[in-house]
Chain A
Amino acid sequence: MWWKLVLFVFMSIMIYFSFALPAPQQQIGESSRIFYYHIPQAWICVIAFAMSMFYSIRYLQKKDLKYDDMAMIAAKLGFIFCVLATVTGAMFAKVTWGMYWNWDPRQTSIFILLLIYGAYFALRGAIDIEEKRAALSAVYSIFAFVTVPFLIFIVPRMVPTLHPNDSIINSDLKFNIEGAISLVFFSSLALFTVLYIWLFNIGVRVQLLLRKQMELEDL
């Protein structure tokens, strides 16, 4: 219980400083504060995707529905954070580049990730038998994950990017992560990760209780 309180207190402090400190990037100005939120969200999105794939592999190895539950919950949370990262990214793009969407390589990547999550849930919805659903969606999530390296390593190199962090054309837009800014940024990263783990655990426990209830009905 105590660590949830700690998370609450630190999250509040982090949110306060993310607005109280001077903006992290002078040229972009105030809107660059979104970077305290956007990057941790994108980070969780990728972490959740990797976890979902990890539990999918575990399911195929062990054929234990517990792992399917975990893969599904990680994917659900990943999807939520993916939407958040896409929305915050689009807002930032509107302010700095003048339009919400321009098929920048990063936007393309996160969009494909969103599509993968969407397809994963569409697939799950179309299969009634639990074990079948678990196995087929596990295979799909592994198969989809395999395409991600192609995305990350190949697409950004073929098209120039506008994204600040690895900007080739606008090198003056680079973020200088130093001092207090770095402290807030990395604590945001850590706090979002803890928040995600907490949400993940709640999800897993709910699923576990549902399964227990089903087993009790059997007796």
Chain B
Amino acid sequence: MYSLKVEDVGKRFGERKVFSKINFELFTGDSIAIVGSNGSGKSTLLKVILALLTPSKGVVQYIEDQTVLSDDIFRSYISFVSPYLNLYDHLTAEENLIFFSTVAGFHVTGKEINALLEKVGLEGRGMDYVMGYSSGMKQRLKYAVALLKKPEFLFLDEPTSNLDDDGKKIVFDIVEEYRSSSIILIATNEKEEYDLAKDIVRLT
């Protein structure tokens, strides 16, 4: 059983306040959507939760059976997909997948890689450089990277951006597949995306 606790979190950049007093607690099986207009700080909140930015106020805690997890440990439980997260253009899709698994410390077989590529609809394109991919294909590959490990926490920022209908279907299927076994957090403005989540946090 895992949980994510966000307590009185606020973030400011210099004199500009982005958001403040964000509170929620999620357990395995929960899903939540963070919605808000452009510039309301959805992506910033995600970065704070991912510990990529230090909150100006409050704490974010990752908990496994009442034990607060340390930085390095909870990172190995998280997968993140976002439009501003880029993969290596000068590597092929396969090389990207192999790199991200090796650097995270586990081994991935050729079979697993093919299965993942097939799952996101990129079968047969594994040997191509990511540079030559369209933005939709890059987005699909990000899901393949995210699913290399079976994430306990799945964070999606604008999950279907750049995707066609087939791609959206793949994303919805992935969310369904992980709904009961992980904590899912979606930052979005699209109705069909936040309908995927059970609860909504609104940023103003």
Q: Give the residue of B15, B20, B53 whose beta carbon is less than 8 angstroms from that of A131.
A: B53
Interface size band for A: under 10
User: Nearest Cβ distance between residue B184 and chain A, in whole angstroms?
Assistant: 28
A165-201, CB < 8 A from B? none
Cβ–Cβ < 8 Å partners of B56 in chain A: 131
User: Nearest Cβ distance between residue B66 and chain A, in whole angstroms?
Assistant: 24
Q: Give the residue of B14, B17, B20, B54 whose beta carbon is less than 8 angstroms from that of A63.
A: B54
A105-139, CB < 8 A from B? 128-131, 135
Q: Cα distance A130–B11 when bound, in Å? A: 11
Interface size band for B: under 10
Digitize B1-22: 1 where CB-to-A-CB distance is under 8 Å, 0 elsewhere: 0000000000011110100100
Q: Is the CB of A130 within 8 A of B17?
A: no
Q: Is the CB of B17 within 8 A of A218?
A: yes
Q: Is the CB of A129 within 8 A of B15?
A: no
Cβ–Cβ < 8 Å partners of B15 in chain A: 214, 217
B49-87, CB < 8 A from A? 53-54, 56
Q: Is the CB of A130 within 8 A of B13?
A: yes
Q: Cα distance A130–B16 when bound, in Å? A: 11
Q: Cα distance A15–B199 when bound, in Å? A: 72
Q: Is the CB of B20 within 8 A of A218?
A: yes
Q: Is the CB of B13 within 8 A of A129?
A: yes
Residue of B with least CB distance to A214: B15
Cβ–Cβ < 8 Å partners of B13 in chain A: 128-130
Cβ–Cβ < 8 Å partners of A217 in chain B: 15
Q: Which 6 A-B pairs have the closest CB atoms?
A: A131-B54, A218-B17, A63-B54, A130-B14, A214-B15, A129-B13
Interface residues of B (CB under 8 A from A): 12-15, 17, 20, 53-54, 56
What are 18 inter-chain pairs, A to B, with CB distance below 8 A?
Answer: A63-B54, A128-B13, A128-B14, A129-B13, A129-B14, A130-B12, A130-B13, A130-B14, A131-B53, A131-B54, A131-B56, A135-B54, A214-B12, A214-B15, A217-B15, A218-B12, A218-B17, A218-B20
